[in-house]
Amino acid sequence: MDHNLSQLLQNLRHEDETVRQHATAQLWRIWFQQKGMWGLEQLQRAQKLIEQGNMQQAEALLTDIIEDNPTFAEAINRRAVLYYLLGEYEKSRSDCLQVVNLNQFHFGAWHGLGLSHAALGNYQDAIAAFRKALKIQPYAVVNQKLILECTMKLPDSR
């Protein structure tokens, strides 16, 4: 693993919130720019389409990017987010799994995987995914809260 990447991942665990925020932003930048400026511009185009409500066009664009660049984890992650927004949780789950297979440290994809599992009622799997996200980003309170919410929905916790 690249030293810079290793340092950024270590900084996600730092006591200082500013250090954690910087590391988080840097990791997102690296992921978005994995395929250079071309990749970044394509992801920005897809995001603009989503913001304009052109979900089908955004999905088509992201799918084309992924077909041409099957290891572009962030393009797959963006499509997972799109599928989640559309309520297509199984497709979102599938894309999140692809992302974490390509990048085991992608806390966003682990979080998305947890959200997708929770939406599908797979609370045990959701908890496992949120725990993986927390292992990478231990100060992410949102994942701690989601673990508690999912735990409360387990049949044996009532």
Q: What is the pLDDT of residue 156?
A: 77
Residues 40, 31, 29, CA angle at the centre, nearest 5°? 70
Q: Are 84 and 96 in contact (CB under 8 A)?
A: no
Chain mean position to CA 139: 16
The domains of the chain, with CATH numbers, are 3-157 (1.25.40.10)
User: What is the chain's mean pLDDT, rounded?
Assistant: 96
* pLDDT, mean of residues 67-75: 97
Cβ pair 31, 103 in contact under 8 A: yes
pLDDT at 158 over 60: no
Could you give the CA distance from residue 74 to residue 6 in angstroms, rounded to a whole number?
A: 19
Query: Which residue is associated with the tokens 């916790």?
Result: 157
- For position 3, what pLDDT does the model report? 76
Which tens digit of pLDDT belongs to each residue from 13-70? Answer: 999 999 999 999 999 999 999 999 999 999 999 999 999 999 999 999 999 999 999 9
Mean pLDDT of 5-12: 96
- The pTM score is 0.95
Do 106 and 90 touch, CB atoms closer than 8 A?
no
Token pair recorded at residue 57: 């066009």
Tens digit of each residue's pLDDT (9 = 90 or more) over 60-70: 999 999 999 99
Residue 5: CB partners within 8 Å, gap ≥ 6? 27, 30, 105
The one-letter code for the residue type at 80 is A
